[in-house]
Chain A
Amino acid sequence: MLSIDNLHASVEDKTIIKGLNLEVKPGEVHAIMGPNGAGKSTLGYVLSGREGYEVNEGAATLNGKDLLDLEVEERAREGLFLAFQYPVEIPGVSNMEFLKESVNALREHRGEEPLTAAEFLKKAKAACKQVNLPLDFLKRGVNEGFSGGEKKRNEIMQMILLEPSLCILDESDSGLDVDALQVVADGVNSQRDGQRSFIVVTHYQRLLDYIKPDFVHILADGKIVKSGDASLALEVEKSGYAFLGKAYEEADA
């Protein structure tokens, strides 16, 4: 599925990812935890191809395709989905138009017929219901005036509609109360089908109570410094990142 080999990446000449290795197999859920400034969000941006994020060394492939060689939209078409930590507000573009364009762009890539307006509406309504968003959200501008929780649920709704093969959830739990967290987790769990893989980037162990990871990795200073099973997250929750050394303890404080 996803294979990252010795990845080095920088933003504005500052190196953030410093030799990252990660192997994600179909159906697996990997959690990435780590102190602030470790490069957690940067990883999502680099993999999705955001402008300004420079890969200096290493490789990343998705289903055997060289990810780093593709444009942002091509990566999405190859099955990569990034749920944003801070979803973007786009006034003037309706959520409906946005979702329809993206769903049909991906269908076209797979050689499928575009959905008609009626077919799409049916799917969109079901997805809306699944993440507990009122239907009038489809008519509103993309994320325009949405609360933090609504924005996160909108990300999950997009994930459900786009049916990606690899989902990167960038702090999808931040700013959510327990109920909203449950909705987000349910949405994610509903998409676990043994084939689809997930990278769950989170600062807290809490989300992992709801989305059970197969592996937990600790990212620090641009590298994965420790990997383990779900129990590693509990350990971090209990004793923090102290085992990484004094510098990280402070950064996390």
Chain B
Amino acid sequence: MSQWLSEVIATAQTHQDWLAPHRQAALAELEKVRWPLRKVEDWRFTPLIPVEKRSVSLATPENTESSAPKIGELSAIELVFSGNELLTDVSALSLPEGLQIVRFSTATAEQQQEIESLLSDVKPAKHLFGQVNDALLADGLYIRVAAGKTIDTPIRISQLASNEGDQHLRVLMQVEAGARATVLEDGYGDASSVNTAFSEYVLHSEAHLEHYRFAMFTQQAMHVGGCHFKVAEKARLNSTLVGYGSQLSRLDVDVIYTGEFANANINAIYLLAEGELFDLHTTIEHAVPNCTTEENARGIVGDRAKAVFNGRIHIHRDAQKTLAELNNRNLLLSRRAVINTKPELEIYADDVKCAHGATVAEIDDTALYYLLTRGITRSQALIMLNFGFIQELINQIPNEDIAGWLLAQLHDRFVGMEVK
């Protein structure tokens, strides 16, 4: 076991709040973990060395950022965590009818019961850092959209990494039958810190969730988080995932279909600057028939940076008439850029349509020269040649304000990256 994990366990044991039973269950699992995890398939390409010798600190230092970047003209219900402190006064928010937002730390006894019944119901137990989040979670938000209600204003939950400390927060959301909502989870930080941001979503029948998760942690800011979805009959999930890299950044996504005729569309973009690491693991569980998944992950990997993509689609024996497509495309900007990609289809049903593929490409020098001879600048030529396939996914984003802002962010980041 690592020093860090021992400290996680020791710290969690001192928490005597209403979540204690939940924490204890996670601790029992964590005590069994055989660290280091280098030989575990799930962590084969993502070394945990940066986290191993750290100390655990849940306090939020004074110098932590206190505002999230403005997203164009987006008008959202903004909830901002700085370290483990929620800066937003939830009770002062004027929320549209049908939307309820509860802060874990101020939940009533009744709400506590509701939260406890949902906690770790969607998130699979296999995620080690999910267990850490279970054990240490400092606060969280429980969001409920009442049946049949459409919430037009996006709900934005921003996490500003604790400067030098840890950040362990949770989001639970229920989108009740026929309800619609948009949620953006974004996280930022560059100083040495550890963030485990896990979120769990339950989409009831015919619910529709437009979801965004932007993991914009860079440099020393470590992030191992996840978003997990249960999707019921005729429900629709549209999720856009964006990852920058840091010394350790990883996102685990699970989609579990619980009802027929549901569909999920997942687009993931990662853009890694020099020396960064980003790992995206996705698992789609087709446990019932007649559901449709379309997943596209595209990434650009800079010099000495490393991307890991593992996309698993598991089609259970009874999941007939499943349609599933999984595609991963990568562009390496240097000979020293690395991608470990592994699309996995595991099919036990016999009447399904599935496709998967992965490609890796490098900068085409001749094409670049051709564009330059026509007076186009090098940076513009590189954008034309290489940014296009990322832009294609951005163009699919339903929210124009978010799409415009994200395009500008990724564009600036790409221009700043050196091609070798």
Contact = CB atoms under 8 A, between A and B. Distances in A.
Interface of A: 48-51, 71-73, 75-77, 81-82, 84, 87-90, 92-93, 97-98, 101-102, 105-106, 109, 142, 158, 162
Interface of B: 364-367, 369-378, 380-381, 384-385, 388-389
Contact of A72 (B367, B372, B384, B389): B372
Contacts of A72: 369, 372-373
22 contacts: A71-B378, A72-B369, A72-B372, A72-B373, A73-B376, A73-B378, A75-B373, A82-B373, A87-B370, A90-B371, A92-B385, A92-B389, A93-B388, A97-B384, A98-B384, A101-B371, A101-B376, A101-B380, A105-B375, A105-B376, A105-B380, A142-B370
Contact of A73 (B365, B375, B388, B389): B375
B382 to A, nearest CB: 11
B369 A76 contact: no
A51 B373 contact: no
Contacts of A142: 370
Given A90-B367, A93-B388, 6 more contacts: A50-B369, A73-B375, A73-B376, A92-B389, A93-B384, A102-B375
Contacts of A51: 365, 369
B370 A90 contact: yes
B377 to A, nearest CB: 6
Contacts of A89: 367
B365 A77 contact: no
A73 B372 contact: yes
Given A90-B367, A90-B370, A76 B384 contact: no
Contacts of A87: 370
Contacts of B388: 92-93
Pick from B369, B370, B372, B375 the residue with the most CB of A within 10 Å: B375
A81 B374 CA distance: 7
B374 A102 contact: yes
Chain B interface main SS type = helix
A93 B369 CA distance: 14
A98 B371 contact: yes
A87 B371 CA distance: 11
Contact of B377 (A84, A105, A162): A105
Nearest to B392: A92
A220 B292 CA distance: 65
Nearest to A72: B372
A162 B373 CA distance: 11
Nearest to A74: B375
A76 B366 contact: no
A81 B369 CA distance: 13
Nearest to A109: B375
B370 A73 contact: no
B375 A106 contact: yes
Contacts of B370: 84, 87-88, 90, 142
Contacts of A71: 372, 378
Contacts of A98: 371, 374, 384
B214 to A, nearest CB: 25
A158 B384 contact: no
A72 to B, nearest CB: 4
Nearest to A76: B375
Contacts of B376: 73, 101-102, 105
B385 A93 contact: yes
Contacts of A75: 373
Given A88-B366, A92-B389, A101 B384 contact: yes
A15 to B, nearest CB: 21
Contacts of A93: 384-385, 388
Contacts of B380: 101, 105
A236 to B, nearest CB: 29
Nearest to B386: A92
* Most central of B366, B371, B373, B380 by chain A CB within 10 Å: B373
A142 B364 CA distance: 14
A106 to B, nearest CB: 5
A47 B271 CA distance: 36
B44 to A, nearest CB: 32
Contacts of A105: 374-377, 380
A75 B373 CA distance: 8
A158 B365 contact: no
B366 to A, nearest CB: 5
A92 B378 CA distance: 17
Contact of A76 (B365, B367, B374, B389): B374
Contacts of B365: 51
Contacts of A101: 371, 374, 376, 380, 384
Contacts of B385: 90, 92-93
A162 B384 contact: no
A44 to B, nearest CB: 10
Nearest to A52: B365
A39 to B, nearest CB: 18
A137 B371 CA distance: 18
A143 to B, nearest CB: 9
A238 B259 CA distance: 81
A92 B376 CA distance: 17
A223 to B, nearest CB: 25
A158 B374 contact: yes
Contacts of A48: 373
Closest 4 CB pairs of A and B: A102-B374, A76-B375, A72-B372, A88-B370
A121 B370 CA distance: 22
Contacts of A106: 375
A162 B367 contact: no
Nearest to B378: A73
A62 to B, nearest CB: 14
Contacts of A76: 372-375
Nearest to A93: B384
A120 to B, nearest CB: 14
A103 B365 CA distance: 22
Contacts of A49: 372
A102 B376 CA distance: 5
Contacts of B364: 90
